[in-house]
Structure 1
Amino acid sequence: MSDLLRRLPLALGVLVAALLPLLATDFWLQAGLFAMAAVVGAIGLTLLVGVAGQLSLGHAFFAALGAYTYAWTAGEIGGRAAGLGLPPVLALVLAGVVAALAGALFSPISGRLRGIYLGLATVGLVFLARHLMVNLETVTGGFNGRTVAPFAVPGFSFSNSDPDYVAVAGVEFEGLHRLWYLFLAVVLLAAWLGRNLKASRTGRALANVRDSEAAAAAMGVHVARAKVTAFVLSSAYAGIAGALMALAYGRIAPDLFGLQLSIDFLIMIVLGGVGSIAGAAAGATFVVLLPLVLVQYSSELPFLASPGSGGLEAATLARLLYAAAIIAVLLFLRGGLAGAASRLRHRRDHSPPDTGGPPPVPPPDSTDPAPAHPGVPPRSKETTS
């Protein structure tokens, strides 16, 4: 019964997410697609940082690799930025595979470094990605980027160009509605795989490496191989996230995959709780939706100025709120949102029942000796000379 109660919030959350396209406007649908794409990438990074104890600031590189792999393999043959014309389903799979292969090629470095040293090494990948995206114009479209082919499966398209009319409960399901359920399915699969990985033998080995490499090696764990495994899995998650970002935007450019994106991914898992799948999802949703909501409703908020006016803009306020949230989490919410939720659940499960009667009488002091005979008071602790 307790397991059912613990899974009830997850089931309700999935149900609400499945029903949202029937009620939400196009703005919220588009924002939800951005958030779900970020959730996949954040799950991959929290597996790397929280489970394996490896720091990476190159998540944007693998996201860019996945995005351009999808755009190139699914793109039409011919034109300035030509493509291979492969089925979009295969292109989505290749986005994760190519990113994982790139992570494996980085294994000589990721298998030997850890902590801040690995983080600094991965920063170079972001600059490498920028150089490749700008100069490989036949694949990436150069500085201006390239359009992204819409997702489709045999007999069904996820774009507005599909002539088939689909309506549910009187709501016409256009491209955003259809992509919503595709993204939701990918998010649920990514979360399920990540949770199973944490509970598996591989996940326990990665946790041992995080806690102590020497102890893990003494237990028979191949430390370098474990590090490479975590990095490859995280890279695959980032590649899939990049492909979803490409589908959500419809057009990609190098500016989307800068160092700021890697920092945003790191903020997501810190706010949500490093090592937590649900925390990564909550942190990603907060980081993505906050600036979008502020920009959308900036005209209705009196303390926000329009862009270029010199006042407090929505993007600047979002960064300030990020900074305040990070400081608050580090000082008062160790473990992030997931840690706070876990502590609240623990207090609820272990709180004494409220019977409505008088408080219980405390037990007698065990230091007082019991009377030798009934009716005789115990001897005083003070002795007289």
Structure 2
Amino acid sequence: MSEQTVSRPAGATRTGSASSRSAPARSRGSVVKWVLIAALLGFLLVFPLYFDEFWLRTGFAVFGAAIGAIGLNLLVGTTGQLSLAHAFFLAVGAVSYSYISGESGGLGTRAGIEGLGLPPVVGMVVGVLLAGLAGLVFSPIAARLRGIYLGVASLGLVFIGVHVINTWTPVTGGFNGRAAPEFSLFGFTFGNSDPQLWVLGVPFREAERLWYLGLVLALAAYVFARNLLRSRPGRALQTLRDSEVAASVMGVNVQAYKARVFLVSSMYAGLSGVLYALSIGSIAPESFTLVVSIQYLAMIVLGGLGSVGGAALGALFVTALPLLFQQYADVLPLVSAPGQGGISAGFAARFLYGAAIILIVLFEPAGLAGIAQRLTSRFRRGRAPAHGGVTTPPPEQPGSAPTPSDRPAQGSDTR
């Protein structure tokens, strides 16, 4: 009896010591994480002071695509609803912004173009709301379909959108499209002038101003999505992805949550469409075809389904790659500038991220986010023994009474 009494405190002491030693390691890992986040934000804030217009406009395009990818990931990655209609909701946001904030009239074939001439911030807000409304209208259909049937049904929206943009000339500009008005906020324009702006000797023109606009909106979209997934509605959406029957048994209103996630995802797409119009400076029917929807699916698959940060990484890869190929086509092998022989920059980029999708699906289904998480876990495991690992208990002495079972042997969760 005395030996059994001695063995219990020994095991308890080892467990307590291990947990107390691992606590500083976890706290140090959290500190490192926040230091890296602060360093990244600092780098993004000073980026316009050191890089030229090409990189700033590429970054603004990435910010807009990241917003749309995060919205699609909420729908496909988190809830498990396949949608090919993302290009349609982008078009709703872009066209609404250009019409509401644009001016009527023009030269030649553009003389019949109409516009309300309202402040651009109003056009942005209304464009986001109209895109959300379009998603809400489609949500009853989405609530009754799933899988490939939902994908085919949503595909019809893309064809409808392209037809409307081509034929509704007074609003959309028709086949030739229409110019997107410059963005302004409370009298401050995001153009090349009015007002003249200099920061640390660097002129802040349209590219620099749009960079900060895109950065703020992308961060807001990222934080909102992360908080949504951590909340009770976010957990309900993840339950829908795993099993609609189980979610219904647990009290989740399946149709209502499907409608809500379509609303939120469409609003993300509408905001992405507005930023796309500002990035290109105009809208046209070929900007919102099925290829665009497939590109957004590529973003979330590459980044990692269900990961907000992964969607942003996928948007960076898919959006920036064609632009980089175009910029450096003269020095890259097998890549040529437009109008010359060889593979064009756009096709080369598609081949590359197409191959990346195949490799991701085969070897790392969690995407770029899964790779980053694996590297982080290895780093933490490599540092843990230096700060205190779990000591191996000494072998049991012959003839001693058996020690009680620990918690995992009694059926507790070991995760």
| TM-score, length basis structure 2 | 0.84
> Cα distance, 1:8 vs. partner?
2.5
2:54 is aligned with 1:17: no
C-alpha distance in structure 1 between counterparts of 2:189 and 2:383, whole Å:
56
After TM superposition, the structure 1 = structure 2 runs for residues 159-238 of structure 1, keeping only pairs within 5 Å, are 159-162=191-194, 164-238=195-269
Match of 2:87 in 1: 60
After TM superposition, the structure 1 = structure 2 runs for residues 1-385 of structure 1, keeping only pairs within 5 Å, are 1=27, 2-78=29-105, 79-162=111-194, 164-351=195-382, 353=384, 370=398
**1:25 is aligned with what amino acid?**
D
**2:377 is aligned with what amino acid?**
H
Asked if structure 1 preserves the Cα contact closer than 8 Å seen for 2:131 and 2:269, the reply is yes
> Cα distance, 1:200 vs. partner?
0.8
Identity %: 48
> How many equivalent residue pairs?
367
> Cα distance, 1:362 vs. partner?
8.3
Distance 1:132 1:347, change over 3 A: same
| TM-score, length basis structure 1 | 0.90
- What is the SS of the residue equivalent to 2:227? helix
C-alpha distance in structure 2 between counterparts of 1:285 and 1:247, whole Å:
18
C-alpha distance in structure 2 between counterparts of 1:223 and 1:371, whole Å:
60
1:312-352 Cα offsets, whole Å, 9 max, x none, are: 22222211111110011111112001111112212222336
C-alpha distance in structure 2 between counterparts of 1:342 and 1:329, whole Å:
15
- What is the SS of the residue equivalent to 1:221? coil
> Cα distance, 1:113 vs. partner?
1.1
- What is the SS of the residue equivalent to 1:189? helix
C-alpha distance in structure 2 between counterparts of 1:61 and 1:136, whole Å:
15
Moved more, 177-186 or 111-120: 111-120
Moved more, 232-241 or 315-324: 315-324
C-alpha distance in structure 2 between counterparts of 1:257 and 1:107, whole Å:
21
Moved more, 175-184 or 303-312: 303-312
**2:248 is aligned with what amino acid?**
A
Asked if structure 1 preserves the Cα contact closer than 8 Å seen for 2:326 and 2:337, the reply is no
C-alpha distance in structure 1 between counterparts of 2:84 and 2:260, whole Å:
17
C-alpha distance in structure 2 between counterparts of 1:236 and 1:288, whole Å:
20
**1:110 is aligned with what amino acid?**
A
> Cα distance, 1:243 vs. partner?
0.4
- Segments of 5+ residues of structure 1 without an aligned counterpart are 373-385
**2:73 is aligned with what amino acid?**
T
**2:322 is aligned with what amino acid?**
P
**2:103 is aligned with what amino acid?**
E
1:76-127 Cα offsets, whole Å, 9 max, x none, are: 2445221111111111111110000001111221111122211111110100
Q: Larger helix proportion, structure 1 or 2?
A: 2
C-alpha distance in structure 1 between counterparts of 2:368 and 2:253, whole Å:
33
C-alpha distance in structure 1 between counterparts of 2:392 and 2:266, whole Å:
58
C-alpha distance in structure 1 between counterparts of 2:384 and 2:184, whole Å:
55
C-alpha distance in structure 2 between counterparts of 1:303 and 1:296, whole Å:
14
The runs of at least 4 aligned residues of structure 1 exceeding 6 Å deviation read 360-366
C-alpha distance in structure 1 between counterparts of 2:268 and 2:97, whole Å:
14
**1:71 is aligned with what amino acid?**
S
C-alpha distance in structure 2 between counterparts of 1:251 and 1:334, whole Å:
37
1:24-82 Cα offsets, whole Å, 9 max, x none, are: 11111111111111000000001111111111111000000100000000012445221
> Cα distance, 1:151 vs. partner?
0.4
- What is the SS of the residue equivalent to 1:298? coil
- What is the SS of the residue equivalent to 2:330? helix
**2:119 is aligned with what amino acid?**
P
